[in-house]
A and B are shown apart, each in its own frame.
Chain A
Amino acid sequence: MSFAQGLLEALTKDLPLLYGPALLAVAATLMLWPGDRFVGRGNKKAWAFVAALVLLAAGALALTAPTDEGFNRMFRVDGLTKGFQALCVMGGLITIALSQPQLNALKEQTVEYYALILFSVCGMMLLVGATDLVSMYFSLELMALCIYVLVAYLRHQERSVEAGLKYFLLGAFSSGILLYGISLLFAAAGGVTTNLAELNGRLALVSANGSLLVYAGVLMVLVGFAFKVAAVPFHMWSPDAYEGAPTPITAFMSMAPKAAALGAFLRVFGTGFQGIASDWMLPLAYIAGASMVLGNVAALRQQSLKRLLAYSSIAHVGYMLLGVMSGDAQAGAQAIWLYMLTYLLMQSGAFAILIYLQGKGEGERIDDFRGLGRRQPVLAFAMMVFLLSLAGIPPLVGFFSKFILFKLAIEQGHVALTVLALLTSAVAAYYYLNVVAVMYFKEAPETERAPMGSLATLVVTVSCALILVGTFFGFRLMDWMGRIVLG
């Protein structure tokens, strides 16, 4: 069999694994050209609809993909891949829905915006399935590069450009660290493979003189990942980037890339580097603990809701890292997936309301929520549900996902960290409840009521309804959902 024949055969065998991400990349390219030629100046809005359809189709293709490994063992479809791919697609869909009011108001609708979102989700879908450090690194870059551009998308606003530049410089720097760590691990394992499963076996057997090299490599990979999920002390970019980015993109950054990066985190550390867990467990524990403490404490002082949500997302990442540290990778994946799913619902709802208030000319300051309870009772109620659920107050669904995660951490023997997590959750409850108190107990200046727009209403209604449903069925629903990741 000739070389070319072998290639074709392998490609036809492996391609079904990639139908979802491939559809995204192809569709986004076609949207840019020639698609955009046929759409008039005023009709760019239509691309939102097309992009949403493409995302739905890609999600369906990804969920029905065969469970297998392919592309020279570089990509793997299993429960973890499918579960996190679904989260990324959901994040993309919500972002497209939330983008409409702002883009219409600023007359910034372009096909590139949606194409970049699709490319980014494509990178995420590849990232969560990557079982090789090389394919993982490139998928990570594809995902991140799109987001750098999207953050700076409103380039007439100085702070948007500033946020994009900061994010880009720090992101590129962290990529360098990650890549250097990968090369050290590659050398330490004998320079033969970058495959995670093979590396795991080889790294555990490295002779004594190479152990320091492995340690340095794993540490640098850990730092690179911590940058991408914005864990303390590698979080400096995130509040600025979150604040400066267009608000829908802030929502996007706090949902989809986080889910994808955590999925890869699980894949690399939970299963890949399990054999050298003693090297990274302690540093990761410090990173998780520091994220919980600093994220929550810094959120206390924020006046801007966007910054508050940014800092609180650092804290949430700290909690989720508990799942990565679990010795039982399956249970850890399940707990993180559930946490991320509920987090996505709460976060999307909160951002939908934030975007609505911004569209009315009110800003993103917490003071702007004064008296929302009297002005718009339904909206205020939904916001209260989101915030209480984010705080993890029982019986809301955020409590269940936190409970499952913390229970797992205690079972795995991380008692001190779990106690820290519980204490910092109490701190978090303060600043979330503070917003609720501002909504209900502060006098409001009289303002006009503006219509909310159907898509934002849809997002708020659906996520609020899902949270309430999750609240009533609680654990049973959680069990059933969690089984998806185990498949």
Chain B
Amino acid sequence: MEAILSRSATYLFLLFGFIALGGAASMVFARNAVHSVIGFLVAMLAVAACYLTLQAEFLGVAQILVYAGGIVVLFLFVVMLVELTKFKEKRLFQIQTPWAVATVLVAVAAFGGVFWKTLFGPAAVEPLTLRPELAEGLKVAEQNAQALSRGLYADFLLPFEILSVILLVALVGAVVLAKTERV
């Protein structure tokens, strides 16, 4: 029973992973800004579903609340407030398309090779896996939220605090650049 469950979780993970990729791609390629935002929403929801299949329920819910809820609405506001129609006719950043495609293909081939060799290389004695202790640690922590708090406030306290300063700086920077008049 457990084997079936874990296998179905893997398939679900893959399914939602591809949906997330599709959403991200449609966000990048959509001509209409509102369609972009909807693509973004799909990607964020699919990533939240990925978290759920990995049994990180808290992270999944937080993802839906923060990204799918807050940030997408914010984006929609910006899209509606800023008049984007005048950019429609301009082909921004499009002159380098052939080069970009070539670069992407080369990068895909290179990384494909790297991952192929890593996963199926001749000396693959043990397959590459994330640490087994991680799952143990999650069990010990009883709950998702507890595990997360341990990560944020004990193991990664310094980066967490630096991140809070980064957010403050981003706020200040936005004000500096957008304020119409300096006082």
Contact = CB atoms under 8 A, between A and B. Distances in A.
Interface of A: 3, 6-7, 10-11, 25, 29, 32, 41, 71-72, 74-75, 107-108, 110, 112-113, 115-116, 119, 122-123, 126, 132, 134-135, 137-139, 141-142, 145-146, 148-149, 152-153, 155, 164, 187-188, 190-192, 207-210, 212-213, 216
B176 A110 contact: yes
Given A116-B176, A138-B163, A72 B157 contact: yes
A126 B117 CA distance: 37
A146 B158 contact: no
A110 B182 contact: yes
Given A208-B123, A213-B114, A32 B172 contact: yes
Interface stretch (B18-26, B29-37, B66-74, B148-156): B148-156
Nearest to A127: B162
A209 B169 contact: no
B170 interface: yes
A423 B170 CA distance: 44
The 3 closest A-B pairs by CB, nearest first: A209-B121, A208-B123, A149-B173
A29 B182 CA distance: 19
Interface string B110-131: 1101110111111111101111
Nearest to B153: A7
A116 B122 contact: no
Contacts of B170: 145
Contacts of A209: 117-124
A124 B177 CA distance: 23
Given A3-B154, A74-B159, A134-B159, A119 B123 contact: no
B181 to A, nearest CB: 11
Nearest to A29: B168
A327 to B, nearest CB: 28
Contacts of A152: 177
Contact of A212 (B117, B133, B172): B117
Contact of B128 (A110, A137, A142, A187): A187
Given A190-B131, A208-B121, A135 B158 contact: yes
Given A29-B168, A152-B177, A155-B177, 15 more contacts: A11-B157, A72-B158, A112-B176, A116-B169, A116-B176, A135-B158, A137-B159, A141-B166, A142-B162, A192-B133, A207-B124, A209-B122, A209-B123, A210-B118, A216-B111
A210 B129 CA distance: 12
Contact of A74 (B128, B158, B165, B166): B158
Nearest to A213: B118
Interface string B42-80: 000000000000000000000000000000000000000
A191 B130 CA distance: 5
A25 B159 contact: no
25 contacts: A3-B150, A3-B154, A25-B165, A72-B157, A72-B158, A107-B182, A108-B182, A112-B172, A115-B172, A119-B169, A132-B159, A134-B156, A135-B162, A138-B162, A142-B169, A145-B166, A145-B169, A191-B131, A207-B123, A209-B117, A209-B118, A209-B119, A210-B128, A213-B114, A213-B118
B183 interface: yes
B81 interface: no
B175 interface: yes
Interface residues of B, number: 43
B155 A72 contact: yes
A212 B162 contact: no
B129 A191 contact: yes
Contacts of A10: 154
Contacts of B126: 207
B100 to A, nearest CB: 13
Nearest to B163: A138
Q: For the complex, would chain B's binding face be called helix, strand, loop or mixed by DSSP majority?
A: helix
A187 B115 CA distance: 11
A7 B183 CA distance: 43
B154 A112 contact: no
Given A3-B154, A110-B176, A149-B173, A119 B165 contact: yes
B94 to A, nearest CB: 16
B166 A142 contact: yes
A7 B177 contact: no
Contacts of A191: 129-131, 134
- Which of B124, B162, B166, B168 is the most central at the interface, judged by chain A CB atoms within 10 Å of its CB? B162
B156 A72 contact: yes
A107 to B, nearest CB: 7
A195 to B, nearest CB: 11
- Which of B110, B123, B159 is the most central at the interface, judged by chain A CB atoms within 10 Å of its CB? B159
Contacts of B172: 32, 112, 115-116, 119, 149
Given A3-B154, A191-B131, A122 B165 contact: yes
A172 to B, nearest CB: 12
A72 B154 CA distance: 8
Given A212-B114, A213-B118, A71 B162 contact: no
Nearest to A18: B158
A90 B162 CA distance: 22
B156 to A, nearest CB: 6
Contacts of B165: 25, 119, 122-123, 142
A345 B131 CA distance: 49
Contacts of A134: 156, 159
Contacts of A145: 166, 169-170, 173
- Which of A119, A187, A210 is the most central at the interface, judged by chain B CB atoms within 10 Å of its CB? A210
Nearest to B172: A112
Contacts of B150: 3
Contacts of B121: 208-210, 212
